[in-house]
Amino acid sequence: MKVLVTRPEADAAPIAAELAARGHAVMVEPLLTIVAKPDAVVDLSDVQALALTSANGARALAERTTRRDLPVFAVGDATAAAARAAGFAAIESAGGDVGALAGLIASRLGPGAGAIFHPAARHVAGDLKGNLEAAGFTVRRVALYESEPSPALSEATAAALRDGRIDAALFFSPRTGRTFVRLLTKSRLTAVCGRMIAVCLSQAVAEDIKRLPWRALHIAAQPTQAALLDGLAALDEAAG
């Protein structure tokens, strides 16, 4: 299969490598660009732990502080891997979504031991802060970066879509899905989805792209990269 990867560039590279190792052809079209917010203040003075909901958050925080002593709680394995690559050592992965992450933190920590620091984008998915605050925690969420949507599809991707050379597209976030719908509508390419399979990380992601006329729309069994890729593999096997 030829697979379209829509993640930001840094996140797309390891997925593209994994897809290539599984025998797929890959086209990368980052629909969001990560832009740092240089005016954001990182104060970890009374923080007991870090809560990471994305690999971009892990990388953005690592660029803003030299501290690597605080325990890290990551939403999933890909985010945990990014934190590990950035030099953090004490890392636990929730292996799921924001709700699972809040539950993991609440099971490991007490609200009175200090704040939870959440490096995030300006636009966040889920309500980690609300979930933890409901459990009595103090959460300091700081927007360290922004995810800016692409203004248009690249000529190469538009041509590949138009010519029917893409068999499947992977979607990891609602905002990426909304951006894809907007750009296909703008380019008058929505009809090409009738030849394609969409594979989504979660139901929330699928909600934003289901209006397109996909040949098939698959939701990962769990909100993890591994489950998403396994879903693609099952679809490929069924098609073959």
Would you kindly state where each structural domain of the chain is located, as residue ranges?
A: 2-31+150-239, 35-147
CB burial string 123-149: b at 16+ within 10 A, e below: ebbbebbebbeeeebbbbbbbbbebee
Percent of the chain with pLDDT strictly greater than 70: 98
Average pLDDT estimate for 64-76: 95
State the pLDDT at residue 237.
Answer: 74
Average pLDDT estimate for 70-90: 94
State the pLDDT at residue 7.
Answer: 92
Average pLDDT estimate for 207-230: 91
Amino acid letter at 134? Answer: A
pLDDT of 123 higher than 80: no
Of 39, 28, 36, which Cα lies nearest the Cα of 57? 36
Average pLDDT estimate for 4-30: 93
Average pLDDT estimate for 90-112: 94
Question: In angstroms, rounded to a whole number, what is the distance separating the alpha carbons of residues 210 and 216?
Answer: 10
Which SS3 state, helix, strand or coil, does residue 58 take?
helix
State the pLDDT at residue 122.
Answer: 81
State the pLDDT at residue 127.
Answer: 87
Could you check whether 2-31+150-239 and 35-147 share the same CATH topology? yes
Amino acid letter at 229? Answer: L
Lowest model confidence (mean pLDDT) among 23-32, 164-173, 230-239: 230-239
State the pLDDT at residue 96.
Answer: 76
Q: What is the CATH code of the structural domain delimited by 35-147?
A: 3.40.50.10090
Average pLDDT estimate for 11-31: 94
pLDDT of 239 higher than 70: no
pTM (2 decimals)? 0.82
User: Mean pLDDT for the chain?
Assistant: 93
Higher pLDDT, 124 or 46: 46
Task: Report the topology of domain 2-31+150-239.
Answer: Rossmann fold (3.40.50)
pLDDT-based confidence at residue 167 (cuts at 50, 70, 90) = very high
